[in-house]
Structure 1
Amino acid sequence: MQEGKFLDAHVFKKDFLWYFLGSSVPMILGFIKTPIFTRHFDKASFGELGIVSITYTFLGMIFFSWISSCLWRYYAKYREEGALVGLYSNLATLFLISCFFLSFFTVGWFVRSENELVKDLILFSFLQLVFNQLFMGYMVVVRLNGKSGYYTMFHGIKSVLGFLLALLLVFHYQQSIVALVSSLAVIDLAAMLVLAYLNPAGISLAIKEVRIVVIKQLLTYGGAGLILNISLLSIAYSDRYIIAWYYKLEEVGIYDQVSKIAQLSVLALITVYFNTINPRLLRRLETDFKAAEEELSVYMYPFLLIGVPIVFYLSLFSEELATVLLGPAFREAYLIMPFIFAATFLHGLSNFFELRLKFSNQLTRLGLIALLTAGLNVLLNLLLVGSFGYEWAARSTLISYVFMLILLLTTDSFIRKLPYKWIGEISKIIGVLLLQFLLYKTVIYITNLQLLGRISIGLLFLSMYFIIFKNSITSLKLPNN
């Protein structure tokens, strides 16, 4: 790519800062909520919550998430044609149809359940899913319009209000763990009412714009993407069902909470990064695919340069993080955190390959890879979790993502287009981090340092990494609009 296609990264840094601020609020609140509520509710309650919430996560993927993916895929095309009202109207129709089918499942599960806690969790999880999907869909349009500041402020305020309401319901009104879901449902509803009134993205609907041919197009793309998304979701969450099959709900609660706090640590930063690059990158993939291929490799480099050390340092201090962020009954599972950190990062890395395959209309290949990976993950969990303990679910997840990445690398010519200079730089990164790991383990073994001393070493290692790779970090160039 010629030099003229790059800029000084000012726009990127501005957007990244806004998205980082917006994501840091829910991330910080997540770190605050977990130690508070894992010290208040027992493991069995979190097990019930985990099973219901993950079930509705799958249902959200089946009924709604593909609708948002259609927005990402077709927004640029319909905007160029001046037909956004038609896109919004047809997607709204599909959303209403999805709500209709979801309500049938919810009523059936609610009626069949005999546990009052589970019934309450089902009801409020249904409401929260519908309101949250409306909110997230609207926010996709806000982000596609480049309003990163608006997204940040609104998302941050909503997160704070949800947390405060949960605290009020739990500690003042003495409500059960259902309050963790009902508080989100109330705030998501309020957020949608405010957005409907203000309408900052200028969304409008028209029944006359609903077309069967457009709905078929959206269903075709969304349906193909649905197989991919369900497969990826099953890799991340199906292990809870298998743990519940082999063990008690207490083990499900422990694994679910420790996994969530580990995922949150890495996923928040991945989300910030892709929120920043997606509006420009997706537009380029739609309008100039060959140029966008080169941009993908440019965006991947800082992802590795910054992401690899973050995963390393988080893994190195898993025990300390668990002590600070989790209640005593949950800390025993800190050993699974490094596997979740690494698995989450590899999932983020695979997004670069997924985007390229999606926009080159290779959804069949991508879906097949995802299905094979999901199948391997379920098989590993069935074989290992029952025999060696629920902790092996985390190892199975990491192995599955490694397998998926290998399939993506070996079946995609895109990998051959990556700059060879990366090999030396990435090798240098791995060498530096490996040396720090050996030094850390040696010092801990000899001195038996406590928490403050370990944190000091971690900060020293982080400073060393920045000094060694300062030129690489500060000289990053990013694609222009």
Structure 2
Amino acid sequence: MLKKFIKDIAKYSLSKLLPALTAFITTPILTSLFPPEEYGTWALALSVSSFMIALTVSGFGGAVIRFYPAYKAKSTLNTFFSTIFITTSAITIFIAGAGLFFSVSFREFLPSALIEFLPLIIAIFIAQSVFVIYMAVLRAREKSGVFTTFQLLLNYGGLGLGLVLVIFFDFRVDGLLLGTLLTLLLIVPILFYVATKGTKVKARYFKMQDAFHIMDYALPLTIGNVAMWGLRLSDLFIINFFYT
């Protein structure tokens, strides 16, 4: 048991450690390709998407890890996956729509670049919402190696594809965002298949009572994550305000 625990910790650590180390290489490349204003726009766009993730499904990641073993023990994983999928999809669509409405209604108070890239930001948010949920499933199933593989595919694939678009096809910040989106679109279907293999995700297995039970657990986690990402996002807006 201890040996497996240590091996899992080592594998999970790679998904955080390798991107952090790679940043020492990629950051100088990005700052040489983009002036500070464009680099800041890219960072702000990713932060907005991350904030929306925190607002939408971050708490459900913890809920997946909490409830998966119980549903597995009762052989009701069809209900679990169907309920999670429908619930998070509905919330994601609602938040995406609310984000669009908010951006249009208050566009004069928001950076123009943020409005320009809003469709890409919303698309990344939707795809990454699915990614977050089913990565949590891999953790619940103790698939540490598979988890790390998908995480590194997203980190390196998104940035690598984005840099290809920027360097060889004359894209700018939109190229980096498009690289992330295309990578998500490529790996999310595979992730969904791997995470739900052997189960059926269908509307008839959805249970409203289970959805409310899961949301009761997820809500406090979501509030904490929103507070954390909100602070990070507000810092970027404050810096942008004083810089301009």
TM over 0.5: same fold?
yes
2:238 aligned with 1:248: no
The aligned length equals: 241
Q: Deviations over 1:389-424 (max 9, x none)?
A: xxxxxxxxxxxxxxxxxxxxxxxxxxxxxxxxxxxx
Partner of 2:32: 39
1-side partners of 2:91 and 2:148: how far apart?
Answer: 28
1-side partners of 2:33 and 2:3: how far apart?
Answer: 45
Letter in 1 for 2:39: F
1-side partners of 2:192 and 2:9: how far apart?
Answer: 27
- Cα distance 1:152–1:41, how it changes in 2: closer, same or farther (>3 A)? same
Gaps of 5+ in 2: none
- Structure 1 segments, 4+ long, off by >6 Å, are none
2-side partners of 1:30 and 1:204: how far apart?
Answer: 39
Asked if structure 2 preserves the Cα contact closer than 8 Å seen for 1:141 and 1:201, the reply is no
Partner of 1:98: 91
Q: Any idea what SS the aligned residue of 1:205 has?
A: coil
Alpha-carbon distance, 1:22 to partner: 3.5
Partner of 1:216: 212
Gaps of 5+ in 1: 1-6, 250-481
Alpha-carbon distance, 1:109 to partner: 5.1
Asked if structure 2 preserves the Cα contact closer than 8 Å seen for 1:161 and 1:187, the reply is yes
Percent of paired sites with the same residue: 21
Partner of 1:135: 131
Task: After superposing the two structures, state which structure 1 stretch, 41-50 or 62-71, moved more.
Answer: 41-50
Asked if structure 1 preserves the Cα contact closer than 8 Å seen for 2:48 and 2:233, the reply is no
1-side partners of 2:209 and 2:70: how far apart?
Answer: 16
Asked if structure 1 preserves the Cα contact closer than 8 Å seen for 2:42 and 2:173, the reply is yes
Alpha-carbon distance, 1:71 to partner: 0.5
2:153 aligned with 1:160: no
Asked if structure 2 preserves the Cα contact closer than 8 Å seen for 1:139 and 1:151, the reply is yes
- Cα distance 1:239–1:154, how it changes in 2: closer, same or farther (>3 A)? closer
Q: Deviations over 1:78-109 (max 9, x none)?
A: 22222222121111111221232123234335
For 1:17-32, list aligned pairs within 5 A.
Answer: 17-32=10-25
Partner of 1:169: 165
2-side partners of 1:236 and 1:92: how far apart?
Answer: 28
Asked if structure 2 preserves the Cα contact closer than 8 Å seen for 1:53 and 1:125, the reply is yes
Alpha-carbon distance, 1:20 to partner: 3.0
Q: Deviations over 1:94-146 (max 9, x none)?
A: 12212321232343356464877433421111111111221221121112212
Partner of 2:80: 87
Alpha-carbon distance, 1:207 to partner: 1.4
Q: Deviations over 1:193-229 (max 9, x none)?
A: 2234555754431312222211221222222322222
For 1:313-332, list aligned pairs within 5 A.
Answer: none
- Cα distance 1:202–1:159, how it changes in 2: closer, same or farther (>3 A)? farther
Asked if structure 2 preserves the Cα contact closer than 8 Å seen for 1:131 and 1:189, the reply is yes
Q: Which of the pair has more CA radius of gyration?
A: 1
2-side partners of 1:150 and 1:120: how far apart?
Answer: 35
Asked if structure 2 preserves the Cα contact closer than 8 Å seen for 1:106 and 1:123, the reply is no
2:52 aligned with 1:56: no
Asked if structure 2 preserves the Cα contact closer than 8 Å seen for 1:142 and 1:201, the reply is no
2-side partners of 1:55 and 1:22: how far apart?
Answer: 22
For 1:288-367, list aligned pairs within 5 A.
Answer: none
- Cα distance 1:206–1:109, how it changes in 2: closer, same or farther (>3 A)? same
TM-score, length-scaled by structure 1 = 0.46
For 1:355-394, list aligned pairs within 5 A.
Answer: none
Asked if structure 2 preserves the Cα contact closer than 8 Å seen for 1:49 and 1:121, the reply is no
Letter in 2 for 1:213: Q
Q: Deviations over 1:422-448 (max 9, x none)?
A: xxxxxxxxxxxxxxxxxxxxxxxxxxx
For 1:104-115, list aligned pairs within 5 A.
Answer: 104-108=97-101, 111=104, 113=107
Partner of 2:142: 146
- Cα distance 1:198–1:84, how it changes in 2: closer, same or farther (>3 A)? closer
Equivalent position to 1:14, from 4, 7, 23 = 7
2-side partners of 1:231 and 1:158: how far apart?
Answer: 25
